[in-house]
Amino acid sequence: MQKIRRLTAKGVSEFAQYLDLLRNDGGLAPPMDILADPLYSTPSTIGDVSIEPRSFASRREFAEYINRRFQDAGIFVDADEPGMWEWLSLYYFDAVCPISKDGSRKPGVNGRHLLNDPDACRRHRHLLRGPYMLWRRYEGGLNGELDLLLSHSLPVHAIAATHLSERQRLMDSSGALVAASRLYVDPESGKPRRGYSRDANGLRAYCRFLNNLPGCFDLAEMSVDTILALLPDAFSQWQRDAETLQGTTHNSLEILKKAATAEDTSLIARQLNELLCETDTRDVTERLVTIRSNMFRPAVLSAYECRCAISGIGLRHSAGNGAANIFEAEAAHIVPVHRGGKDLVSNGLALNRTIHWAFDHGVIWINNDLRVGLAREADTDPRNHWLCQFRGQRLRTPADEKHHPDPEALRWHAANIAHAV
């Protein structure tokens, strides 16, 4: 067994020089002697971790192995320190850069072995650190989050790691990762299906489609069923093989697909509302109930353009690095679901968080003339005075009359939640 060490700056430089030389002379032997040379490497500072030379059938197998070795040494946090992954890459060089049939090695770009890439978001491209960090983040991917990301052999970075890992919005969505795995991984072999990299309906197109959805589509909160159902017709050939679609009706999927491919936000809201109406007027499976619930928020926020219907506040935050915009507005039910309310746009209002809270507790309501009413405590409690500015203000309604709040729902809320009638 060998204790893990880390390369010094001099050791990393020596390794980098070797990689450069290897591109001109593919038969050049790796400088294994620097692994133990104190001029080039030092003991790891995170603990005594023992490993042995071996091969790995896949990225998943390596991630599981190295995580187990760290945990056996009592390390339960992300094991990450300067020079350690470079040392491991050299130690397992036969695994990450094997000798090909012609007797040469093809190391690829330095980022596969070294972590000095100035673009920090691409550190996941390291052939060893990348799989390990994914394993840590998703705790082994028990739900299938890593089936596609870790399905390739260890020396292969593949487009899955590139197109998924470099889109923060998708990496934050367990549903998006599981959906990608179910679409593009053969459940029997555990390998990517043939043609999954094609442009028209392969993984690249899948990532582009989800990443370009309007910001009100909160992928992080969406189930795998909802995300699969959102995909347009071009992905139908993959969906037919996805186990997640068993028991889901074709008609509701077609409506979801139409909604997802619409470019205009008002059209998105209208077509999502049509889906919500349809799934509400007949018996549905538990899976479709989940899909309908997941669609309520984007449908309502799209109808109100992500602005509060009372205050007009439309705060937005852009996290950058490919992440979706985050909106402060929330989708509020007028009649709560637990009181019989439906996941329909007409039973919803876009409200900022403070007003949403006040609306749910009956401190604020909407009168028959669509003007704001306030409870007495808005005047008597100084902490509530901020709400007084909205008394008598007319509700901001969507441009499409089909999305206007249901008058009966507003009257029910005023009578049963605010006790104003």
Q: Which burial class, exposed, middle or buried, applies to 322 when counting CB atoms under 10 A from its CB (0-12, 13-18, 19+)?
A: middle
Distance CA 14, CA 263 (A): 52
Structure tokens at 44: 């790891």
- Triad 225, 226, 228: Cα angle to 5°: 65
The pLDDT of residue 233:
78
The pLDDT of residue 55:
95
- Asked, for residue 120, whether it belongs to a domain, the answer is yes
* E strands present in 167-232: none
- Asked, for residue 213, whether it belongs to a domain, the answer is no
For the beta carbon of residue 222, count every other beta carbon within 10 angstroms. Answer: 26
- Asked, for residue 68, whether it belongs to a domain, the answer is yes
Instruction: Say if residues 330 and 351 touch (Cβ distance below 8 Å).
Output: yes
The boundaries of the domain holding residue 59 are 2-144+265-416
- Asked, for residue 386, whether it belongs to a domain, the answer is yes
- Asked, for residue 255, whether it belongs to a domain, the answer is no
| Structural domains counted in the chain | 1
The pLDDT of residue 277:
63
The pLDDT of residue 247:
44
The pLDDT of residue 16:
95
Distance CA 259, CA 229 (A): 10
- Asked, for residue 409, whether it belongs to a domain, the answer is yes
Annotate 21-83 with three-state secondary structure: HHCCCCCCCCCHHHHCCCCCEEECCCCCCEECCCCCCCHHHHHHHHHHHHHHCCCCCCCCCCC
- Asked, for residue 293, whether it belongs to a domain, the answer is yes
* E strands present in 177-334: 316-318, 325-327, 330-333
Structure tokens at 128: 């060893």
The pLDDT of residue 217:
77
> Mean pLDDT of successive 10-residue segments in the chain (421 residues)?
95 96 93 96 94 95 96 93 96 96 91 74 80 94 92 87 84 92 88 83 90 80 81 81 48 47 51 59 53 77 92 83 74 91 91 95 95 94 94 93 93 91 58
- Asked, for residue 227, whether it belongs to a domain, the answer is no
The pLDDT of residue 319:
66
| Exposure class string for 151-182: b at 16+ Cβ within 10 A, else e | bbbbbbbbbbbbbbbbbbbbbebbbbbbbbbb
